[in-house]
Amino acid sequence: MSATQVWERLFIGGIGDAEALAESNPFGITTVVTLCEEEVQKRAAGVNYLHIPLREDWSLPIGKFDEIIDSLWENIRWGKVLVHSFDGADRAPIVGQSRGCI
């Protein structure tokens, strides 16, 4: 798993990191927030999966940003969260750097 830990309970990565949890969950991720249009196909038992699809070619609407932050706030209270985009290089790092809102 190549996800990056940006806070005690917050990780960012790509869809491959989310799917790798089905094989091994070394960080104890309890929630996966998917920000790309593709859904996670391989899922780990006992992990909560949320899908908030964002198009790559659109700006991030305020309502969607609020939805993402709310989902992080709700789930980070009781576990560790992996927020990911398709390759981990576009939307996920932007949201991960907004952790001051959490």
pLDDT by residue (tens digit) across 39-72? Answer: 999 999 999 999 998 876 667 778 888 998 999 9
- The answer to whether 4 and 12 have CB atoms below 8 angstroms apart is yes
In the CATH scheme, what architecture does the domain 4-87 have?
Alpha-Beta Complex (3.90)
pTM: predicted TM-score of the whole model, two decimal places? 0.82
CA–CA dist 77, 7 (Å, integer)? 13
**Rounded alpha-carbon distances, angstroms, from residue 41 to 22, 25, 69, 76, 99:** 10, 16, 24, 23, 27
CA–CA dist 57, 95 (Å, integer)? 16
Domain ranges across the chain? 4-87
**6-15 pLDDT tens trace:** 999 999 999 9
pLDDT confidence of residue 56: 67
pLDDT confidence of residue 8: 94
**81-102 pLDDT tens trace:** 999 987 544 544 445 444 443 3
Give the tokens for residue 20: 């790798």
